[in-house]
Structure 1
Amino acid sequence: MKLTFTIFLLILMISKSEAQEVINLYPGKIPNAKVNEVYIETSDTSKTDGNIRIGKVSIPKLTAFYPEKVKADGTSVIICPGGGYRYLSMINEGKAVAKELNKYGITAFVLKYRLPSDEIMIDKTIGPLQDAQQAIKMVRENAAKWNLDSTKIGIMGFSAGGHLASTLGTHYQKSLIDNPKNISLRPDFMILGYPVVTMGTYTHKGSKENLLGKNPSAEDIKLYSNELQVNSDTPPTFIFQANDDKTVPSENSLDLTRALKEAGVKTELHLYQAGGHGFGLHNKSTKESWFDSMISWMEANNFIF
């Protein structure tokens, strides 16, 4: 009997630590979509790093990770994994980060967004942004149901996911989705990890080509260079990156920080001398934790208490 009760407690503890819910992002028709029955989602676990890389996403979803009720403070963060707009790094830049946020009472939503593709989209340049807009609309609409504060919803993104997050944070005025209640699509804050920001000189070429195509117009290059889209209403932003990043040049973070400062937006940049690209939660080159610094920044700006 004692052993049975112990097993029950262990199951209960595991279920609490893994508390999650998978939600279809669109309850009805997916906007900007083309039917393609041979376009099948892929899942790559072949690498030895324990990560899962998801490709060919055509049905976007939100996976909600809920903190223990006694810890929950109403703040929520939507996480956009990176992968060059070619795949999604679902563990390293998704689930692992979500579970860490839960420890601080933050509800996390990992966004499995559609990757830009002419095979399944009428206009691939707006597909990922539509999904990010739908995600924040859904979270804000359901804030009361999920015991969330509708004024403390942040967007977080890594690498190309950082481009998507910063696109939402600078392109929220124009709704690309059905939004009859005119719910605000503006994130209350942004957290960007080694982000692709620009489509200009210092861009990540793979992300640029996957999103905009091989020969994008000058107008599209400017439109999706998010350092050029900052204004005084852009959300407060926390940024971290390694200065030796050979995949996404640190100028992306530096130029965005400069633009935010010039616009009078609260921003904090942590630029490490080493760490490379794609380090997720842990930059092994330093004892400093960007995550701890981020939590301190959130506390200083009253996003968490």
Structure 2
Amino acid sequence: MNSIIPLWEQAAPHAAAGHEDEMPHLIPFIQPGSESAVIVCPGGGYGHLADHEGAPVAALLNRAGISAFVLKYRVAPHSHPAPQADGQRAIRYLRAHAEHFGINPSKIAVLGFSAGGHLTATLGTQYDGGQPGHEDRIERESSRPDRVILCYPVITMESYGHAGSRINLLGEDATEEQIQAFSAERQVRADAPEAFIWHTSDDQAVPVENSLRYALALGAHGIPYDLHIFEKGPHGLGLAEHDDTVRVWSDLCLTWLKNQGW
């Protein structure tokens, strides 16, 4: 059984009332000799976390020689900003403990599926350089991921997004300001990390337009991306091991990571 790494020593911030004892954490899958790491964010509409999008993906990364960490971030009844705080803390934690894990603090990627892809895209568009004078050395680190991998991601909170994810994250009465702030295609910055993105064109749960619009936003800022759209395949495929066409996404992704120096 892999050990669990709590992200905070005490209670996590932004907890939902009555759920203050829930501790977001990382599950490490260390690959000896690897200097790069990928944080894996399972999907689940911000309502649960899908097991098949966690440990099996970390195991795949290990077989490719890459250390992985599955992020158990908070979901409903927790809402914004809890998931984002968990993701940012995970990145900062690995940077602060990079020497302990044998990783390069400049080689930390985040990979997310569906709503976990929304969290990943949020981390890839809303980040800071850390607080140099903070008493907690983890908070001194940058929260910017070095690369992002988006697997059939929820990107927008607008009409073509995923209503369940929006409600769980922002509530039934989200303001227009909140909707735009958490529509990642509107928040891409000039120094946003490069991305690998894949989707299926007939995804009925999260329309492919999510990935397309994020790619267009990256392109508008001159940020490189690797985009793959498969013709058919339902939402939530994970590694797609039983789909002879779509399962090649992981080989394409690992090749991309290798070319990025991972």
Displacement, 1:35?
5.1
Query: What letter matches 1:248 in structure 2?
Result: V
Pairing 1:155-304 to 2, within 5 Å after superposition:
155-173=110-128, 182-282=140-240, 284=243, 286=245, 289-302=248-261, 304=262
Deviation string for 1:266-285 (max 9, x for gaps)? 10111000111000012615
For the structure 1 residues 253 and 261, does the alpha-carbon distance in structure 2 shift closer, same or farther, using more than 3 Å as the test? same
C-alpha RMSD over aligned residues: 2.1
Determine helix, strand or coil for the equivalent of 1:166. Answer: helix
Change in 2 beyond 3 A, CA 1:170/1:178 = farther
Q: 2:43 aligns with which of 82, 105, 109?
A: 82
Q: Is the 8 A contact 1:74 1:152 kept in 2?
A: yes
Residue ranges of structure 2 left out of the alignment (5+ in a row): none
Q: 1:190 offset after TM fit, Å?
A: 0.1
Asked if 2 retains the 8 angstrom alpha-carbon contact of 1:133 and 1:168, the reply is yes
- Can you give the 5+ residue segments of structure 1 that lack an aligned partner in the other structure? 1-17, 41-56
- Cα distance in structure 1, aligned partners of 2:194 and 2:86: 22
Q: Matches of 1:95 and 1:74 in 2, distance apart? A: 20
Contact kept? 1:84, 1:159, Cα under 8 Å: yes
Cα separation, partners in 2 of 1:164 and 1:130, compared to 1, 3 Å: same
Contact persistence 2:73–2:86 (CA under 8 A): yes
TM-score (structure 1 length as normaliser)? 0.80
Distance 2:86 2:136 in 1: 13
- Paired letter, 2:258: E
Question: What is the number of residues matched between the two proteins?
Answer: 258
Q: Deviations over 1:62-88 (max 9, x none)?
A: 100112x2xx32110001100000000
CA gap 1:174/1:213 in 2 versus in 1, 3 angstroms: farther
**Could you tell me which residue of structure 2 aligns to residue 31 of structure 1?**
13
Match 1:104 to one of 38, 50, 64: 64
Q: Structure 2 length normalisation: TM-score? A: 0.92
Post-superposition offset of 1:288: 5.5
Runs of 4+ in 1 over 2 A off after TM superposition: 173-182
Structure 1 residue 251: Cα displacement: 0.2
Q: Does the CA-based 8 Å contact 1:275-1:285 persist in structure 2? A: no
Give secondary structure in 2 for the equivalent of 1:85. Answer: coil
How far apart, in 2, do the equivalents of 1:164 and 1:59 lie?
Answer: 18
Q: SS at 2:4's partner residue?
A: strand
Structure 1 residues 253 and 179, CA gap change in structure 2 (3 angstroms): farther
Taking the aligned partners of 1:144 and 1:102, their CA distance within structure 2 comes to 19
- Ranked by relative contact order (alpha carbons within 8 Å, sequence separation 6 or more), the top structure is 2
